[in-house]
């Protein structure tokens, strides 16, 4: 008898339904199409967001334990899990811890890596962003807002900035809303280059609260406000990485690479 196989896509989640449809939803659809032999499940790991979404919009989402329990009850034996996280940090570690607690309920479990797990992964992202935003002239600057993490196993943001410079995209710069490198590299970049214009865009899977509040919020601490205070014309893009087909294809690649690697 053939084992029942499943694909479980795990995301942090977002409290903004429309942004979620355009990013997480599109990543899920792409993965489901790439693994049509597997039944599709999804889970969000932020209980706060799951509860808020239910209360505010009447939308129900499984938490990770709920999704794993649902698959077990429905007779799934073979599980492929792909997170939509960008970094191999705290959220990914928490996900793996939960999955291991349910490991014995399934015959086989394979887990894909986050988007940026190695230098070659960062290279793929840098190349994709350079291609996607190649039309922006070097007299302007593209400022990416990343999230930041204290648990990164790889200095992703520093590597990205170095690659941009080496590739001839010195007008691209990455900062973070939390932890290092923070906003300072962005400010230094703008003050030294004096670009004609700055394009602010999220280096986040979904353009949710960080993009709407920390990046373009109508308060003195937002990146937009600080750049405008420095005398720079600032335009904003609210396009999360999940909206780009090229980025969604990278998640599919991570899942395909993991399909044969069984979690011990």
Residue with tokens 């899977």: 205
Using a 10 angstrom Cβ sphere, with 0-12 exposed, 13-18 middle and 19 or more buried, the burial of residue 249 is middle
Query: What 3-state DSSP class applies to 233?
Result: coil
In DSSP terms, 235 is beta-bridged to 199
- Residues 77/107, Cβ–Cβ less than 8 Å: yes
The string of DSSP codes covering 118-142 is SHHHHHHHHHHHHHHTTTS-TTSEE
The residues, ordered by sequence, that sit 6+ positions from 258 with a Cβ below 8 Å of its Cβ are 80, 82, 110, 111, 112, 113
By C-alpha distance, which of 110, 82, 114 is closest to 3? 110
- Residues 16/202, Cβ–Cβ less than 8 Å: no
In DSSP terms, 201 is beta-bridged to 144
Residue with tokens 């009447």: 58
Helices 64-73/90-101 angle, 10° precision = 30
Q: What sign results for the dihedral spanned by CA atoms 168, 172, 178, 184?
A: positive
Catalytic residue list: 147
């Amino acid at each position: 008898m053939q084992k029942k196989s499943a694909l479980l896509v795990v995301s942090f989640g977002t409290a903004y339904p429309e942004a979620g449809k355009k990013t997480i939803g599109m990543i899920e659809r792409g993965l489901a199409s790439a693994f049509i032999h597997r039944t599709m499940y999804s889970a969000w790991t932020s209980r706060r967001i799951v509860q808020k979404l239910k209360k505010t919009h009447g939308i129900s989402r499984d938490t990770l334990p709920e999704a794993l329990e649902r698959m077990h009850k429905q007779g799934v034996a073979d599980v492929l899990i792909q997170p939509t996280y960008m970094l191999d940090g705290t959220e990914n570690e928490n996900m793996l811890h939960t999955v291991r607690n349910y490991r014995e309920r399934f015959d086989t479990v394979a887990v894909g890596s986050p988007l940026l797990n190695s230098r070659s992964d960062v290279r793929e992202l840098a190349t994709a962003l350079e291609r996607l935003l190649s039309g922006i002239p070097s007299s302007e600057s593209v400022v990416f807002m990343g999230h930041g993490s204290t648990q990164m196993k790889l200095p992703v943001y520093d590597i990205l900035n170095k690659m941009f410079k080496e590739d001839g995209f010195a007008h691209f710069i990455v900062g973070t809303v939390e932890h290092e490198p923070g906003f300072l590299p962005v400010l230094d970049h703008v003050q030294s280059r004096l670009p004609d214009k700055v394009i602010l865009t999220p280096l986040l899977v979904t353009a949710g609260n960080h993009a709407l509040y920390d990046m373009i919020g109508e308060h003195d601490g937002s990146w937009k406000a600080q750049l405008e205070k420095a005398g720079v014309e600032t335009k904003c893009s609210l396009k999360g990485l999940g909206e780009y087909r090229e980025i969604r294809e990278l998640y599919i690649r991570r899942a395909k690479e993991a399909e044969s690697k069984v979690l011990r």
